[in-house]
């Protein structure tokens, strides 16, 4: 039984076309190929044609792959490139790794007898090591080395530590004391498996907190709880990756600003001071605050006594205060007043607590009722005086009228001569009686004419119960030859 050599057949390697001497006296032929340099090698074995090695026209190119999910790397990381040859290689096969633009290969590695591939490790990557990588394999012939074509390239990018981005998980960057804020820090799309994020606040120097990202994540979220004025400020973040020999840090992200708004209780005051305003007078209420924001307003509230209703008036802030004017006080202005400071910060509205209550009372001036009473008394007194004067005038007019009538009635004039009668003539009497109810003493007047003069006698009579009436009785006779009708007059 003949012993055959392990044949890897390359036509150009052996320089033969149809037959290849394997052992002395044993014929070898190439059949079934497309050319004289390809086909099936048949070796005569025990009188039979046996199969051997299929030879191709040239060495096939290897394949190359990157053992990473991303073709980009950070400085300090490492990359693994695997180069794979045909399924059946020569016992002494060497693989070579090339980088585009470098000219010569950068590293080489021999495959083990049972392997058809090797893995190249590029450690401590930097920007100078980025580029396109390819590989070839080479076999040793009897007199020369044969090399395969270059594989298809694989690209490696080594970027500098780009700065991360930071964002605030909130509609507004302003907060009330006690609230919490969430800040998200995001790195590049490809990060090292051990990436740590650090959060900084401006003016604090060192980082205030740190958090490691999971292998499948490129961002972390920092939670700032129980916010206060001491925690407001500008926040930024960085990420760090651990290289083989050192730690690499990114630049700081752009900052995000957090404002914590705490509004103090405003102050309320009344002018004139004292809490009491006279009806009809003007008064002013002033609201002031120690805060100083550009978009701010004061609100004035009033709760009327006995009602749950309330109204408000607003006024813009001028020098941290607002003035509410009331031109004429009345009862509707009485009640408890309180003011509130309102401001808008970064699009969010904030309100302070209400100020202390200010009680306003509307009073009536003391002079007004006194003057009213004096005026009423004066009017009443004047009315009484006028009534008395009028009554006196009526009484006087009545007496004059009675007296005039009595004079006319008691006067006897001679129709012939026009002279009054002497004492010898019969006297004419005019009796006038006045009776008035509800009077104690009544005046009685008797008038007569004596010696051509008018004489009046005043007599007092006691109260009479009879109704008031006046009676004049005149009875005179004809004397002196004068013819005169007797005159009788009754007056009721």
| pLDDT digit string, tens, across residues 29-65 | 766 665 555 566 666 655 554 444 445 446 889 999 9
Does this model's pTM top 0.75? My answer is: no
Interatomic CA distance for residues 120 and 135, integer angstroms: 10
Q: Is the pLDDT of residue 411 over 70?
A: no
Q: Is the pLDDT of residue 121 over 70?
A: yes
Given a contact cutoff of 8 angstroms between Cβ atoms, the answer to whether 470 and 444 are in contact is no
Instruction: Considering only residues 11 and 63, tell me which one the structure prediction assigns the higher pLDDT.
Output: 63
Beta bridge partners of 260: 175
Distant-in-sequence, close-in-space partners of 464: CB < 8 Å, separation ≥ 6: 435, 442
Interatomic CA distance for residues 32 and 20, integer angstroms: 15
Banded pLDDT at 365 (limits 50, 70, 90): confident
**Residue 42: what pLDDT?**
67
Instruction: Considering only residues 121 and 38, tell me which one the structure prediction assigns the higher pLDDT.
Output: 121
Instruction: Considering only residues 377 and 36, tell me which one the structure prediction assigns the higher pLDDT.
Output: 377
The residue whose two tokens read 């007059």 is 489
Q: Which fold has domain 63-158?
A: Immunoglobulin-like (2.60.40)
**Residue 91: what pLDDT?**
67
Q: Where in the chain is the domain with CATH 2.60.40.10?
A: 63-158, 165-260, 267-363
Secondary-structure class of domain 267-363 per CATH: mainly beta
Interatomic CA distance for residues 41 and 231, integer angstroms: 83
Interval 303-358: pLDDT, tens: 765 554 556 677 777 788 888 999 999 988 888 999 999 999 988 999 999 999 99
User: Any idea which architecture 165-260 has in CATH?
Assistant: Sandwich (2.60)
**Residue 80: what pLDDT?**
93
Mean pLDDT for 362-376 is: 70
Instruction: Considering only residues 215 and 445, tell me which one the structure prediction assigns the higher pLDDT.
Output: 215
């Amino acid at each position: 039984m003949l012993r055959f050599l392990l044949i890897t057949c390359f036509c150009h390697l052996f320089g033969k076309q149809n037959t290849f001497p394997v052992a002395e006296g044993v014929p070898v032929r190439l059949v079934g190929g497309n050319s004289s340099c390809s086909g099936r090698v048949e070796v005569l074995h025990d009188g039979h044609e046996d199969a051997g090695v299929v030879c191709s026209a040239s060495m096939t190119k290897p394949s190359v792959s990157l053992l990473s999910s991303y073709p980009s790397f950070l400085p300090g990381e490492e990359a693994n490139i695997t180069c794979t040859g045909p399924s059946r290689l020569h016992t002494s096969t060497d693989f070579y790794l090339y980088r585009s633009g470098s000219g010569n290969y950068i590293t080489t590695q021999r495959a083990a007898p049972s392997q058809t591939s090797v893995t190249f490790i590029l450690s401590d990557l930097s920007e100078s090591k980025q580029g396109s990588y390819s590989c070839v394999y080479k076999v040793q012939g009897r007199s020369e080395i044969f090399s395969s074509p270059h594989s298809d390239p694989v690209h490696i990018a080594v970027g500098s530590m780009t700065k991360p981005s930071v964002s605030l998980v909130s509609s507004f960057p302003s907060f009330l004391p006690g609230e919490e804020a969430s800040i998200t820090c995001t790195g590049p799309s490809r990060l090292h498996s051990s990436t740590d994020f650090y959060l900084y606040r401006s003016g604090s120097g060192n980082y205030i907190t740190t958090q490691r990202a999971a292998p499948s994540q490129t961002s972390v979220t920092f939670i700032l709880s129980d916010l206060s004025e001491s925690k407001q400020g500008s926040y930024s973040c960085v990420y760090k990756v651990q290289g083989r020999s050192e730690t690499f840090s990114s630049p700081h992200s752009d900052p995000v600003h957090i404002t914590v708004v705490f509004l103090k209780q405003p102050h309320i005051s009344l002018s004139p001071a004292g809490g009491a305003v006279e009806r009809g007078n003007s008064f002013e209420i002033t609201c002031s605050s120690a805060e100083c924001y550009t978009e701010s307003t004061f609100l004035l509230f009033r709760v009327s006594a006995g009602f749950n209703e309330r109204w408000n008036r607003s006024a813009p802030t001028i020098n941290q205060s607002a003035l509410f004017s009331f031109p004429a006080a009345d009862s509707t202005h009485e009640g408890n007043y309180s003011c509130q400071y309102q401001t808008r910060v970064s699009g969010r509205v904030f309100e302070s607590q209400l100020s202390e209550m200010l009680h306003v009372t509307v009073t009536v001036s003391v002079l007004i009722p006194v003057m009213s009473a004096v005026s009423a008394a004066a009017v009443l007194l004047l009315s009484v005086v006028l009534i008395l004067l009028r009554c006196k005038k009526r009484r006087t007019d009545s007496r004059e009228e009675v007296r005039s009538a009595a004079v006319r009635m008691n006067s006897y004039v001679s129709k012939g001569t026009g002279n009054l009668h002497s004492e010898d003539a019969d006297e004419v009497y005019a009796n006038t009686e006045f009776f008035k109810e509800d009077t104690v003493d009544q005046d009685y007047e008797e008038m007569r004419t004596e010696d051509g003069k008018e004489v009046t006698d005043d007599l007092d009579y006691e109260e009479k119960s009879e109704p008031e009436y006046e009676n004049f009785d005149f009875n005179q006779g004809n004397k002196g030859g004068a013819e005169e009708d007797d005159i009788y007059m009754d007056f009721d």
